[in-house]
Structure formats: structure tokens, C-alpha cells
Amino acid sequence: MIEPFLLQGGDHACLLVHGFVGDPGEMRDLGEYLAGAGFTVFGIRLPGHTGRPEDLMDVRWTDWLAAVRLAFDALTRRAATVSVVGFSLGGALSALLATQRPVQRLVMLATPYRLGGDWRVDLLGIARYVTPWFYLLERADFSSDELRASIWRRQPDLDLDDPAVRQILRRSVKVSVAAADELRLALAAARRALPQVRVPTLVMHGHDDNTADPESAAAIASRLGSSRCELRYWPATGHQLLLTGPYQTAIFRRIERFLRR
């Protein structure tokens, strides 16, 4: 579990916001790249995202947004301008922030327009009071390079080809249904706020994203209130576009160029 990080640089700061059930490690490679390019970088940890599923059970989406606001305000005391880069849930929170704070540039990466899934998604508001857990890897494809990289980032010694290890992961990797419902509520709030987002925005998504529907990027871009919105898709790229895939460095460079304009 990678801790929050602050990398000192120039007078243009970047707040990096990770995704749901993620951690600052999702943003660390990008953060080091931007720091090397002269930006001050702050990678935060959202409340409840400690690696212990129990810690997310009583957290509300408004707590996540409050933490992002607090981090942004702290950066404004260090730098003249502050931009925000959000991944997945972090992108939705960053869009909400841009309606409440003077964000210089907004980057939304692999951000879902709405919570994917079947009809049961609409019942999360009820299910959270009935059943405590949703098992994330219950039907996982352990041959997926992206999934393996995501697991190995946290537990590099696991043998993911061992059937016993796979079975343990299917039964143990879980998130509270209440937290999943808070994710749903956060995405709904971000959808409503998109027309009020006026700052220059870069929206990017992987064509092969199996977590957040790739059509989300176009839907977000079409609803943004900004007169300057750039939309970019990346081929052969999944959800974790900052960690895996053949275009990682190109994605970093694209973000840097956008932030400098």
C-alpha cells in the first residue's frame, strides 16, 4: 500500500486523485513523471481507502469530495495555480471540485459516466442495508494482464496461476455494498455537475476498458460546460491506463502537454 506523496516542484501544482478501492500508488508513476517535468505534485488518499475493506463501510461520497477540496486548498497555499488529474472515481470527484474551486486544468482518466452492471445496480440503495459485501474477484479472469498487474502491485509474490491462490482471492477480495452505493451516488452527482464545469478539460479512456465503459468518455465530453474539451481514446489500453498498456509514456506526455497550455 503506497502512501500519499508530495513531490516539490514549480509554481504549477497538480493534485492527483486515485480511483475507487485504489490508493495513491495508482497515480505515483504519473506523479513522478510530472514532478520531473517541473510540477509540484500531491497524490492524496481518499478516506476509507486503507486496504482494509471494513474501513470503507461507513464512509460517504461527500467525505471523499471533502478530502479532495482540503487537498486542493492546501496546494493553493504552495503554488500559484493548481490543476487536478483524477482517475476513475477520482475523475468524477475532480469534476465536482472544478465547480467549487478555481481549478486551472482538469484531466479525467477512465472515468465512468455511471456505475456499470445489470439491474441490480439500481438496487444498491436497498441492498446496502441487507447484505454487507460484494466480492470483486468472484468471476475474475486471472489470465488478464491488467488484473494480474493490479494484484501484483499490492502483493508481488502471489502465484496467480495456482488454483488455490485464485480461490482464496475470489473469496477474500471484497468491498462493502454500502461503499459501492456511495460510488454510484458520487457518479450521479458528477453527471449532474458536468454542465457547470467551465475549465479546460482533457478526457481520456482506454478502448479496452472492461471496468468503465469506454463510451463514458464521449458521454462526459458531450455534457461538459467547458468551451475547451479534448477527448482522446487509447487503443490496446484497459482501465489502469496509468499503470499498464503500451501507451503509458505517451499518456503521461499528453497530460503534461495539456497542463502546460
Gap between the Cα atoms of 54 and 40, Å rounded: 33
Name 57's Cβ contacts closer than 8 Å, sequence gap at least 6. Answer: 48, 132, 176, 178, 179
pLDDT of residue 128: 66
pTM assigned to the model: 0.88
Phi, psi of 78 (to 5 degrees): -110, -25
Query: Which residue stretches of the chain are H helix?
Result: 25-36, 61-76, 89-98, 124-127, 145-154, 163-172, 177-193, 215-223, 248-260
Sheet harboring 81-87: ordered strands across? Answer: 5-7, 40-43, 12-17, 81-87, 106-109, 201-206, 229-234
Q: Residue-wise pLDDT tens for the chain (261 aa)? A: 678 999 999 999 999 999 999 999 999 999 999 999 999 999 999 999 998 888 998 999 999 999 999 999 999 999 999 999 999 999 999 999 999 999 999 999 999 999 875 545 665 666 666 677 777 788 888 888 888 888 887 788 888 898 888 888 887 777 888 888 899 999 999 999 999 999 999 999 999 998 899 999 999 999 999 999 999 999 999 999 999 999 999 999 999 999 997
How much is the pLDDT for 119?
Answer: 46
- What is each CA distance from 229 to 23, 171, 199, in whole angstroms? 27, 42, 9
Half-sphere exposure in the Cβ direction for 91 (13 Å, CA): 25
Grid cell of 222 as nine digits = 458531450
pLDDT given at position 19? 96
Cell of 123: 438496487
What pLDDT, on the 0 to 100 scale, is given for residue 127?
62
What do you get for the CA distance between the two ends of the chain, in Å?
Answer: 34
CA angle, 44 as apex, 6 and 156 as ends, to 5°? Answer: 90
Q: Domain 5-116+177-260 belongs to what topology? A: Rossmann fold (3.40.50)
Q: Which three cell numbers stand for residue 124?
A: 444498491
Residue pointed to by grid coordinates 482540503:
70
